[in-house]
Amino acid sequence: MTRMPMTNTPKTATVDDAQLVSRTLARAFGDDPMMRWFFPEDASREAGLGRYFTTLFTRQYARHGVCERTDAAAAFWVAPEGQEKAVPDAETIQELQDILGDRAGLFRDAVEAAAEHGPKEAHWYLAVIGADPAARGQGHGSVLLRSGLAQADASGLPVYLESSKPSNIPVYEHFGFTVLGEAQLPGGGPVLWSMRREPRSGAGA
């Protein structure tokens, strides 16, 4: 039986896509140093990540962010006007703590540490982007990155992100990001790189 090709055309992601989005991101972040730190057990990591991304997507970014997907990738962006609202409320924080279990304290400390290094200027924030490893090389992540960057460029604003995966740094640099700094997360966590991209006019990367 021939497998149907996965299309890499960006689409708006809605809460109806939660199962696809969370499954995709759970696979995408299975080898991410920070997510392996939050979910250290190999046997339960993918299930834990699925619950984690479902909560973030349905309770936070689908409500207050700009979310797009392909058949094998997803990206969550936050425009300047959505950033105050996109902060997790008490119920969301409780859900995440329940999912993370005894790693919840490390997660809280990591979020607070990252926030200390966040930009003060108006900006777009790339909160999450990931593609299913099974579709690697098919351009799923790239089309979502270009789509979000085009929206940020149209507003004339820079884009900010954090990454804990060293191999992603040159990918982001290809799209115009530069490293602002790096910080070791508290509690013996991985290094987190903060990156920024200046707005562009005309054709992007």
Residues 6+ away with beta carbon under 8 Å from 167: none
For residue 2, is pLDDT > 90?
Answer: no
pLDDT digits (tens, 9 = 90+) for 47-92: 999 999 999 999 999 999 999 999 999 999 999 999 888 788 889 9
Q: How far apart are CA 69 and CA 39, in angstroms?
A: 24
Q: What are the strands of the beta sheet with 124-131, ordered from one edge?
A: 11-12, 66-69, 73-78, 124-131, 159-163, 191-197, 177-184
Q: Is the pLDDT of residue 204 over 50?
A: no
Question: Which pLDDT value is given to residue 117?
Answer: 74
Residue 46 burial class via C-beta count within 10 angstroms: exposed 0-12, middle 13-18, buried 19 and up: middle
Closest-CA residue to 123 (of 180, 165, 42): 180
For residue 6, name the pLDDT band (cuts at 50, 70, 90): low
Total residue count of the chain as it appears in this document: 205
What pLDDT shows up at residue 1? Answer: 42
CA distance 59 to 15: 9
Q: What is the Cα 105 distance to its own chain's centre?
A: 20
C-beta separation of 189 from 156 below 8 A = no
Quote the radius of gyration of the chain (alpha carbons, Å): 16
- The one-character DSSP state at 60 is I
Q: Is pLDDT of 26 > 90?
A: yes
Question: What share of the chain in percent tops pLDDT 70?
Answer: 95
CA nearest neighbour of 143 among 70, 82, 84, 38: 70
Place of tokens 């507003």: 155
Output the pLDDT for position 195: 96
Q: Render pLDDT for 150-170 as a digit per residue (tens, 0 to 9).
A: 999 999 999 999 999 999 999
Look at residue 5 and tell me whether its pLDDT is greater than 70.
no
pLDDT tens figures, 126-156: 999 999 999 888 999 999 999 999 999 999 9
Going along the chain from its start, the domains and CATH numbers come out as 14-197 (3.40.630.30)
Say how many CA atoms lie within 13 Å of 69 toward its Cβ: 22
Q: Is residue 203 predicted with pLDDT exceeding 60?
A: no
